[in-house]
Structure 1
Amino acid sequence: MTAATDGALPPWRQRLRGALKREGRQVSARWLQLATVAADGTPRVRTLVFRGWSGAAQLELYTDGRSSKTAELTHQSQVELCWLLSKAKQQFRLRGAAAQVAPAADQSQWRSLSPSGRALWGWPHPGQPFQSEAPFPQELPEDAPIPEHFIVVQISIQQVELLDLSHHPHQRLRWRHDDDWREQRLNP
């Protein structure tokens, strides 16, 4: 049986787990870049924090529903993530489709954030002109109500490429969901 049919993790997840372990407790190990397409067809890229897995090939990110990112994901759900793990000398490129999901009824995603992490959703509308009198709380308690603009984005991964810079020559591998996550070596 393959990873896609037996419920096991895809092979790229195991490699990603190993690379993350080599990063140690570096906060930057949870940062990944999300590439989207704006309504005018131009590219957009920004850094988000990896929040967890909601399936073997489905990861979660949190975003502010008032940001342009949510409109971009509604316009075009196909995205690519770039996850650079510098200590491991590995770059993962994850391609897939994003779906915006409301927070869980049990508030587990909201509560998983630190008080300072929750505070970001108490800030004024992102991308609007700065007003010095606007509130920028430093913390929000765990029991603070979930703002309507707290959005969980689930990305269903369809393809993964790994560029491993620790070898000579560099090693480049690809896995595709529609090929049962079979590993294919590519020229770097």
Structure 2
Amino acid sequence: MLQPEMADEAGVGLPPWRLLLRAARQREGRAPGSGWLQLATMSAEGCPRVRTLVFRGWSAQGELELLTDTRSEKPSDLLHQPRVELCWLFRKTREQFRLRGLARIIDGEQGREALEQHWQRLTPRGRAVWGWPQPGEGFNPEGPWPEQIPDGAPKPEVLALIRVKLERVEQLDLKPHPHLRRCWLRDQGWLEQHLNP
């Protein structure tokens, strides 16, 4: 289950790109992968890293929310360099959104309530990955590899929230000829700019 958009039904209070993103998500429906987006980070060694994560909603401040495991490399990458870009492709609608901003890790006591809410919203199968061994270590078939973590199970300490405060958003709509490309910048009040595709 996703968090509701932070505005009334008419979209009052949302940046214009959020309305377009919401419309693309609605048209995409329940297509496999419709909630998946790619997160690009930079490691401390200067190596670019790209991972696919699941969109988890919006914070009350309008930050994009994702979940991660604190044992993975993402938290250390984000501590080293908080600037990130996300790419969200909607195959059915033939639209792509590129979202750039500053990411921060929310874990432990600072985000206890938000993390607990996200944990409870996950399905038992969705929770299972947080019961697996440390990501990136040598594979041991003995595990543990739970297939489910039931409702009511305590939130694991390794669950963390990534919140991205967006600074720049681009949309590329591949349907018209020529393609439509537009951009919005936070520091310009999210005013729409048209760009060559």
Give the TM-score normalised by structure 2.
0.89
Contact 1:10 1:57 survives alignment (8 Å):
no
Contact 1:8 1:56 survives alignment (8 Å):
no
1:126-150 Cα shifts (integer Å, max 9, x gaps): 0000011121000001221111110
What's the % identity of the aligned pairs? 52
1 CA distance for matches of 2:150 and 2:101? 34
Contact 1:77 1:98 survives alignment (8 Å):
yes
* Count of residues in correspondence between the two structures: 182
- SS of 2:34 mapped into structure 1: helix
2 CA distance for matches of 1:56 and 1:128? 36
Match of 1:88 in 2: 93
Q: Which is further off, 59-68 or 48-57?
A: 48-57
Match of 1:180 in 2: 189
2 CA distance for matches of 1:130 and 1:104? 31
1 CA distance for matches of 2:117 and 2:65? 13
2 CA distance for matches of 1:146 and 1:54? 19
Question: Are residues 150 and 39 of structure 1, via their aligned partners in 2, closer, same or farther at CA, if it must alter by over 3 Å?
Answer: same
Give unmatched runs, 5+ long, in structure 1.
1-6
**Residue type matched to 2:130 in 1?**
W
Question: Are residues 172 and 55 of structure 1, via their aligned partners in 2, closer, same or farther at CA, if it must alter by over 3 Å?
Answer: farther
Contact 1:10 1:56 survives alignment (8 Å):
no
2 CA distance for matches of 1:62 and 1:81? 14
Please state how far the C-alpha of 1:55 moved relative to its aligned partner.
3.6
Match of 2:112 in 1: 104
Poorly superposed stretches of 4+, deviation over 3 Å: none
**Residue type matched to 1:105 in 2?**
E
Q: 1:42 aligns with which of 37, 44, 47?
A: 47
Match of 1:146 in 2: 155
Instruction: Note the 1:6-155 alignment, pairs <5 A.
Output: 8-55=13-60, 57-102=62-107, 103-105=111-113, 107-155=116-164
Give the TM-score normalised by structure 1.
0.93
2 CA distance for matches of 1:51 and 1:129? 29
Give unmatched runs, 5+ long, in structure 2.
1-11
2 CA distance for matches of 1:121 and 1:21? 29
* RMSD between superposed Cα atoms in Å: 1.2
- SS of 1:80 mapped into structure 2: strand
- SS of 1:139 mapped into structure 2: coil
